[in-house]
Structure 1
Amino acid sequence: MRTARIRAGLPQDRLGVLIGLDEGCSSARISRYETGTHEPPFETAKNLAAALGIPAAYFYCVSDELADIILESHCLSVEELVSVLAWIRDLKQPK
């Protein structure tokens, strides 16, 4: 989450306020989410994703590579996504 926040150019306190957290505790709460001390409820994760302009699935990736794929693909058109999906399926086929 830290990477996405920094990429969006938002300090922790501003991000917290954008998703409706009290200004007095927003920075600390976002810090706890970023360090993994606390996991945000799914609704909060959706709000964070919306504020950062990324899909919520980004937060639940098991690897940095998958997270990068999600970030790179979320702005593609449906036609482009279909092409990417076909390419991925082709990669999985035995050679």
Structure 2
Amino acid sequence: MSFQNPITERLKQARKKAKLSQKALGERIGMDESSASARMNQYERGKHTPDVQTLKLIADELGVPLNYFFCEDESSAELACIVSQMTESEKKKLIASLSQSKD
């Protein structure tokens, strides 16, 4: 069984949800206009993987948390987005609630 890089699929999903072209997204995070589309395409096809700093810029631009790109399944990706929008207090309550349900 080969490992599928989750970044490629998550990147494509988040970009399409934001209704941005590869070129527009690349330009918004500071890539050169002439190479933005090609670089984003290589990231989405898995030919190259963006470094963490670039991935953080992409995450911020698309309104998703950085860890979203590393989620291996849809439920985890959705949870990452929901949790990222919670306050610290809400996160602590959720952790306490989930911890109690495991006992």
TM score, norm. by length of structure 2: 0.80
More RCO (CA 8 Å, sep 6+): 2
CA distance in 1, matches of 2:98, 2:46: 31
Runs of 4+ deviating beyond 4 Å: none
Aligned-residue CA RMSD in angstroms? Answer: 1.4
CA distance in 1, matches of 2:94, 2:45: 32
CA distance in 1, matches of 2:97, 2:37: 41
CA distance in 2, matches of 1:8, 1:34: 15
The alpha-carbon distance between structure 1 residues 90 and 36, as it changes in their structure 2 partners (threshold 3 A), is farther
Q: Percent identity?
A: 34
Alignment partner, residue 14 of structure 1: 24
The alpha-carbon distance between structure 1 residues 37 and 88, as it changes in their structure 2 partners (threshold 3 A), is farther
Q: In the alignment, does 2:60 pair up with 1:59?
A: no
What residue ranges of structure 2 are gaps of 5+ in the alignment? 1-10
TM score, norm. by length of structure 1: 0.86
Q: Secondary structure at the match of 2:48?
A: coil
What residue ranges of structure 1 are gaps of 5+ in the alignment? none
